[in-house]
Structures are given as structure tokens and as C-alpha cells.
Amino acid sequence: MAWRFALIIDPADADAAAADFAATFQQVDPAAPALSIGELSTQRGDGIFESIGVVDGHAQEVGPHLDRLAHSARLCDLPAPNLAQWREAIAVAAAACPPGECVIKLILSRGIEHGPTPTAWVTAASAPDNTAARTGGVRVVTLDRGFDSAAPARAPWLLLGAKTLSYAVNMAAIREARRRGADDALFVTTDGIVLEGPTSSVILRFGDRFVTPEPGAGILHGTTQVSLFAHLRDLGSDAAYETVPVSRLHEADAAWLVSSVRLAAPVVAIDGAQLPLDAAFTASLNEYLLTPRD
């Protein structure tokens, strides 16, 4: 992904008010050095982020992404972000995006050890071409996430509901899925409960019902999944959060991995077992997701 825009933010206090925050932004060359060697985002992955889809210059679901950024900051004991400041930075980045699909990333780090804290920046880039995944689907394998379904309540320091920069495990899972001949992974707990993909939420269809795993079980609450559930309910469909045992995966009539940039990718196989691809319905989901929304 070629970054085309970068903005360093001098984070304002959460309750600071201003007519605008332009004086707190510094545009930098995205190809040039910008962070200290002691930056804890790179040293330890100690920070949080959000990825926001952009369609023809319009940043999608900004409010839900900012709410989740604040939620992750609370879980990670980071200073609360000033959401008005971040919203303005997103608008600046979106204005720098070309027509078509792009992605904006928000990053909030603990900063430099024994130094200024926190560090914050925003980047923008053209999104990869996800046509093949959206139309042809993805094959997934289930992979053990290494904890049981009670771990989030028992060990909150694992930060299982936060979107942190520590994505080494997520990327390793995708590589393992490809080694197994699949395109992506679906995490499950050691006691057999479905969680999420490394970079996506999962939605399952059972007859006329749409189901996604309970977000309280160590799952990052997906902004795209929440938006799609609202859309499905507007269409008159039943959309619910449930505990989903792994055994139920093969009872599904259809499934999708959904995320802010790839959007809705139909799942065509789980652990080698084929699933039907509803091309027309998937296209309608992606048409909705590509419609400008705040």
C-alpha cells in the first residue's frame, strides 16, 4: 500500500475546545522519516489504530471509528483522544484522497519512553483492489486463538477487545491460512467458540437469520458488521449477536468476512467444506457499503 498523505497530530486534551485544530497538524512527507527511534509504537506495538474506508473522498463511518478509537484508548490506559480534533484530521486526510477507494489510518501511540506522550498521526493511501474477494469469495480455515471463551473477563490485560498495533499474531494467522491453501483465517477459542477473522468480523446466515459472534467474548466490535446489521434490519431481516460454536459453522447457508476496506467478502469454503456463494446478495451488501455514510 503506497501512502500518499501523512499528518502528525499534536494531541489535544480530550475536552479541549477550539474553532479548528489546524495549528495542531503538521503535514509530512509519507516517504520520509517522521518518528523517533524510541517510538513505542515501533518498539513494542504499544498503541492503537483504526482503518477507515474512503469512497470518492468521503470517509465512511467516522463516528463509529472514533468511538472505537476512544474505547481502545480506555482499554490500553492511553490518554482519551479529542474526537473533534481527530475528526478534523480525518477530513483533511480525506480531502487528499483521489477518486475511488482509499484507506485512512488513525494511529495513537504511547509515544517515547520517558519522553513526550502520546504520539499521534493520520495517513491516507489508495486501497488495494478487492474485487476478486468481493465477487469470487474467500476460502477460510479455523485457527485456535490460544485462549478460552472466558479469558476476556478473567484476564482483561490481554486487551482482547482493543484494536492495538500489536498485529503480529493476526498476520501470522493469515500466513498460516495460506500455507493451508486458504485465503484467510477464522479464529476460534480453545473451547470451540467462533470469534472473528484476523482483520475482519464474520457474519453467518442461517435461513433468514443473520448471526455474528457476541462482541463481549474478546472480539473487536466491527464497525462494518454493526453498519451491515442496521442495514439488514432496515430490510426486515433478523440480525443477532450469539455465541456460535464451531460446530455451527457448517450449518450456515452463507457467510461473509466484513471489514472497512475489503468490505463484504463471501466465504466459499470453511476448512475445505464448501459454502454457497450468493453473488447477487453480496453485491447488494457491497453496494450499500460503498454508499457514503457517516
Residue 218 confidence (pLDDT): 74
CA distances to 4, 82, 91, 134, 259 from 124, rounded to whole Å, are 6, 20, 11, 22, 17
Summarize pLDDT for 281-292 with one digit per residue, the tens.
Answer: 999 999 999 999
Task: Please give the grid coordinates belonging to residue 247.
Answer: 460446530
DSSP state of 32: S
How far apart, in whole angstroms, are the C-alpha atoms of residue 190 and residue 206?
Answer: 24
Residue 114 confidence (pLDDT): 78
Question: Reading across the β-sheet that carries 3-9, which strands appear in turn?
Answer: 25-28, 3-9, 119-126, 101-109, 47-55, 58-59
Residue 82 confidence (pLDDT): 97
Residue 166: left if φ>0, alpha if ψ -120 to 50, beta else—which one? Answer: beta
Does pLDDT of 2 surpass 80? no
Summarize pLDDT for 76-134 with one digit per residue, the tens.
Answer: 999 999 999 999 999 999 999 999 999 999 999 999 987 777 999 999 999 999 999 99
How far apart, in whole angstroms, are the C-alpha atoms of residue 222 and residue 233?
Answer: 17
Q: What percentage of the chain has pLDDT greater than the value 70? A: 99
The CATH fold of domain 3-126: D-amino Acid Aminotransferase; Chain A, domain 1 (3.30.470)
Residue 115 confidence (pLDDT): 74
pTM of the model: 0.94
CB atoms within 10 A of CB 151: 18
Residues 6+ apart with CB under 8 A from 169: 198
Mean pLDDT for 127-150 is: 96
Summarize pLDDT for 241-273 with one digit per residue, the tens.
Answer: 999 999 999 999 999 999 999 999 999 999 999
Summarize pLDDT for 18-59 with one digit per residue, the tens.
Answer: 999 999 999 999 988 888 888 999 899 999 999 999 999 999
Band of residue 173 on the pLDDT scale cut at 50, 70, 90: very high
| Per-domain boundaries in the chain | 3-126, 131-289
Does pLDDT of 13 surpass 70? yes
Band of residue 1 on the pLDDT scale cut at 50, 70, 90: low
Summarize pLDDT for 213-229 with one digit per residue, the tens.
Answer: 988 767 888 999 999 99
Q: What are phi and psi of 151, to 5 degrees?
A: -60, -40
Name the architecture of domain 131-289: Alpha-Beta Barrel (3.20)
